[in-house]
Structure 1
Amino acid sequence: MIVSISASHYLDPAADTLLARFPAPRRALFLDRDGVVNINHGYVHAAGQTTWVGGIFELCRGAHAAGYLPVIVTNQAGIARGYYTEAQFLAYTGWIHAQFAEQGAPLLATYYCPHHPTEGLGPLLRECECRKPAPGMLLGAADDLGIDLGTSVMVGDTESDIQAATAARLRQAKLFSGGDLPPFTEMFG
């Protein structure tokens, strides 16, 4: 049974300023986190575990220049499994947002799924509409932030990212397989 749950999110402290600069309908560059924003070392949830993927700040600066707002969409099974708390995740997410702002590549928001269908603990053990490949995080961001999904794009590193983008009817989704990220204009023209 699938339980309908709205996507959880962290809205950047500068979100109002970003939203004012980009009137609705807005375009987003959706990014998976582990494997696209940072190297996936397994359940990364602290600054000391973080290694940035090469080119990520440049990609986000290019997105801003092209009129796209960067939004992270990430499955966080580590919360469901009890490896770290939601509070620890949110503190780490705040740190990530601060690092991007310092690099002149501010993120608008991070949407996350804290559930897992087979390994979650307590109420986090469930099938939901927010865990990719379901499109719930993308749809939630669109509703909350005035994003036009049909003109938005995504970079993911797994097929479930691409499936979520397709289900949400994004204009384009790219599968990233490692190395350094190319510039935004090279990825999305």
Structure 2
Amino acid sequence: MPSADRLVILDRDGVINQDSDDYIKTLDEFIPYPSAIAAIARLSQAGWSVAVATNQSGIARGYYDETTLETMHHRLHTLVREAGGEIAHIAVCPHGPDDGCSCRKPLTGLLEQIRDALGMKTLKGSWMVGDSLRDVQAGEAMGCHSALVRTGKGARTLAKGKGLETARVFADLDEFVDWLVTTH
């Protein structure tokens, strides 16, 4: 069981892979940032556990199905393992914004799923890394430290500036990991 102060939770689209306003609907559209795959591997090798919390409303919208999403996540697991790392758990919200679920970020359901799947009592002291305000809000609601990356929608989120007072800002996941492993 990982300890909360050695867990990093990542948003997926825009943090690990290229994002699209038209959604990532196929395996061909799922294009991980090479530096992000290497960064996840470095976290694992430095003794950190890594989980992913991702809103995937494209499923509810009918743009792709859960089998397609599983194919993307299988590819992600494979790439990270080949680089020498591991992803402990991927939590997915397949619901649309109006479905009334408890898992869609900024709500905390995905993070609660990660906590429970990893057998943890709390996420207080963990890190939540995302490219949107809702990622930061979900993490902070669970007692996580927050980091915003400028990749994906991060630059747009940063330009709005609201709600990011306690979030550390990094160019990308690679820069965050460089900082984290050298300071913690």
State the partner residue of 1:166.
Answer: 140
Aligned sequence identity (%):
32
Deviation at 1:65, TM superposition (A): 3.3
CA distance in 1, matches of 2:76, 2:110: 19
SS at match of 2:59: helix
How many residues of Structure 1 are paired with residues of Structure 2 in the alignment?
159
Unaligned regions of 5+ residues in structure 1, if any?
1-22, 119-125
Pick from 36, 51, 59: which aligns with 2:15? 36
The residue that corresponds to 1:149 in the other structure is 123
- 8 A Cα contact 2:41 2:81, kept in partner: no
What do residues 50-101 of structure 1 show as CA deviations (whole Å, max 9, x unaligned)? 3222521232123223322111110001001000111221122112111111
Divergent runs of 4+, >6 A: none
Question: How far did residue 185 of structure 1 move?
Answer: 4.1
Tell me if 1:184 matches 2:177: yes
TM (normalized to structure 1)? 0.76
Partner of 2:33: 53
**Pairwise CA distance, 1:45:** 3.6
Q: 2:97 aligned to 117, 136, 142, which one?
A: 117
Shift of 1:127: 1.2
Instruction: Measure, in 1, the Cα distance between the counterparts of 2:19 and 2:135.
Output: 15
In the alignment, what sits opposite 1:92? 72
Equivalent position of 1:135 in the other structure: 108
Q: What do residues 99-141 of structure 1 show as CA deviations (whole Å, max 9, x unaligned)? A: 11111122112101011133xxxxxxx1111000001111111
When residues 129 and 158 of structure 1 are mapped into structure 2, their CA distance, relative to the original with a 3 A threshold, is: same
Pairwise CA distance, 1:157: 0.1
SS in 2 for 1:182: helix
Q: CA deviation at 1:183?
A: 5.0
- Paired position in structure 2 for 1:122: none
Matches of 2:12 and 2:123 in 1, distance apart? Answer: 19
Whether 2:54 is the aligned partner of 1:74: answer yes
Q: Tell me if the contact between 1:135 and 1:165 (Cα under 8 Å) persists in the aligned partners.
A: yes
For 1:186, what is the secondary structure of its paired residue?
Answer: helix
Higher relative contact order (CA 8 A, sep 6+): 1
Output the amino acid matched with 2:137: Q
